């Protein structure tokens, strides 16, 4: 996988807001291939099953449905940011096509195709708050979403640091501070699991097409598959990073105590000078061995700050 460092501005923006827009993430040829593949799957799905109750078409775990999607697995303009925001110990945990045609006439502006939520399924209700950062998604825009009201994703900036739900003013449709992310075909949006987001109605004449690639720590269960099929793993057997991202492993304890052969991204991480030592390790080195009380106090404060990050 190529290396693309996060700029200080990008890192600050992500840590502050919980999401990051990457303009022009897909070049024209890649955008065309991915869009054509999504169109084929969408057209077939419409014929065979139609739209869901929210008026959209969705296909989960789409990574193996077309080689164009496999290109996005370690896409050079976006995925190198994932280990920098999580760690080298990551995997693909979802690949998700969503197509939203124009909403029926008369649809209310208050309609929500997907209500306000955090990602992660049942975990968001079972893990005590404040929640840790566990997952992140890369959303690739395949349609012109440069204007509002096209079924764009809505975010509450900074909500990844909140405890509980964002506040909503009386009579307002969305929580306080909500923004609607706009973008052109080929743009990408990265966001983490704790950031509250929702999808409003598509009040335009444009069909909103997107594909999401989600990543998480390897010790978590993927969201939309258990293991990938052997034929897909064979396609990446000569690409170590793709093999790791698709859930490959070599040793019996590969997901709890991984060795280097289980996680080739660890070598990539080191090669590009990324610090593999945690803030906790660094602070512990600064403490005298006999300073037990100070050590415990400092460890508690570090752990607390990491939970808030």
Distance CA 261, CA 121 (A): 30
Number of domains comprising the chain? 2
| 219 within some domain | yes
| 18 within some domain | yes
Residue 127 corresponds to which tokens in the numbers above?
């893990």
Instruction: Specify whether 183 is located in the same domain as 153.
Output: yes
Distance CA 71, CA 32 (A): 13
Kindly state the helix (H) or strand (E) to which residue 178 belongs, with its residue range: none
State the CATH number of the domain containing residue 111.
2.60.120.620
- Say what the pTM is: 0.89
226 phi and psi angles, rounded to 5 deg: -100, -60
| 3 within some domain | no
| 2 within some domain | no
| 19 within some domain | yes
* Residue-by-residue pLDDT tens, the chain, 309 positions: 999 999 999 999 999 999 999 999 999 999 999 999 999 999 999 999 999 999 999 999 999 999 999 999 999 999 999 999 999 999 999 999 999 999 999 999 999 999 999 999 999 999 999 999 999 999 999 999 999 999 999 999 999 999 999 999 999 999 999 999 999 999 999 999 999 999 999 999 999 999 999 999 999 999 999 999 999 999 999 999 999 999 999 999 999 999 999 999 999 999 999 965 544 454 445 554 444 444 445 444 544 444 444
Instruction: Specify whether 296 is located in the same domain as 206.
Output: no
Give the pLDDT confidence of 148-181 residue by residue, as tens digits: 999 999 999 999 999 999 999 999 999 999 999 9
Instruction: Specify whether 188 is located in the same domain as 250.
Output: yes
Instruction: Specify whether 198 is located in the same domain as 294.
Output: no
Instruction: Specify whether 211 is located in the same domain as 299.
Output: no
Q: CB count, 10 Å around CB of 226? A: 8
Instruction: Specify whether 286 is located in the same domain as 250.
Output: no
| 80 within some domain | yes
Distances (CA, A) of 164 to 32, 80, 158, 203, 258: 41, 31, 13, 30, 34
Give the pLDDT confidence of 96-155 residue by residue, as tens digits: 999 999 999 999 999 999 999 999 999 999 999 999 999 999 999 999 999 999 999 999
Instruction: Specify whether 231 is located in the same domain as 286.
Output: no
Domain containing 299: what range? 279-308
Instruction: Specify whether 126 is located in the same domain as 264.
Output: yes
Instruction: Specify whether 84 is located in the same domain as 196.
Output: yes
Give me the pLDDT at residue 90, please.
Answer: 97
For tokens 């139609």, the residue is: 50
| 151 within some domain | yes
Instruction: Specify whether 89 is located in the same domain as 21.
Output: yes
Instruction: Specify whether 284 is located in the same domain as 267.
Output: no
Give me the pLDDT at residue 281, please.
Answer: 52
Give me the pLDDT at residue 305, please.
Answer: 45
Q: Is the peptide bond before 200 cis (omega within 30 degrees of 0)?
A: no
8 Å CB contact between 232 and 64: yes
Q: How far apart are the first and last CA of the chain?
A: 27
Instruction: Specify whether 301 is located in the same domain as 185.
Output: no
Give me the pLDDT at residue 279, please.
Answer: 44
| 214 within some domain | yes
């Amino acid at each position: 996988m190529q290396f693309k460092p996060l700029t200080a501005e990008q890192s600050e923006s992500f840590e502050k807001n919980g999401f990051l827009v990457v303009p022009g993430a897909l070049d024209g040829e890649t955008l065309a291939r991915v869009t054509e593949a999504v169109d084929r799957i969408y057209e077939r799905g419409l014929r065979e099953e139609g739209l869901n109750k929210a008026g959209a078409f969705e296909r989960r775990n789409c990574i193996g449905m077309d080689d164009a999607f496999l290109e996005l697995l370690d896409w050079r303009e976006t995925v190198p940011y994932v280990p920098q925001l999580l760690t080298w110990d990551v995997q693909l945990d979802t690949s998700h096509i969503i197509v939203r045609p124009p909403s029926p006439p008369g649809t209310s502006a208050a309609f929500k195709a997907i209500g306000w939520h955090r990602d992660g399924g049942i975990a968001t209700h079972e893990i005590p708050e404040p929640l840790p950062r566990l997952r992140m998604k890369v959303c690739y825009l395949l349609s012109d979403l440069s204007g509002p009201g096209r079924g764009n994703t809505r975010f509450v900036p900074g909500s990844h640091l909140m405890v509980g739900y964002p506040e909503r003013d009386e009579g307002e449709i969305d929580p306080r501070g909500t923004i609607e992310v706009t973008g052109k075909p080929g743009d990408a949006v990265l966001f983490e699991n704790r950031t509250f987001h929702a999808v409003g109605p598509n009040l335009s004449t444009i069909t909103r097409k997107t594909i999401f690639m989600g990543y998480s720590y390897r010790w978590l269960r993927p969201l939309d598959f258990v293991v990938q099929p052997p034929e897909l793993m064979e396609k990446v057997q000569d690409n170590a990073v793709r093999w790791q991202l698709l859930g490959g492993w070599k040793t019996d304890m590969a997901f709890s105590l991984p060795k280097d052969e289980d996680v080739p991204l660890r070598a990539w991480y080191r090669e590009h000078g990324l610090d593999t030592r945690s803030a906790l390790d660094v602070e512990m080195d600064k403490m005298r061995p006999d300073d037990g009380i100070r050590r415990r106090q400092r460890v508690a404060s570090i752990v607390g700050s990491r939970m808030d990050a």
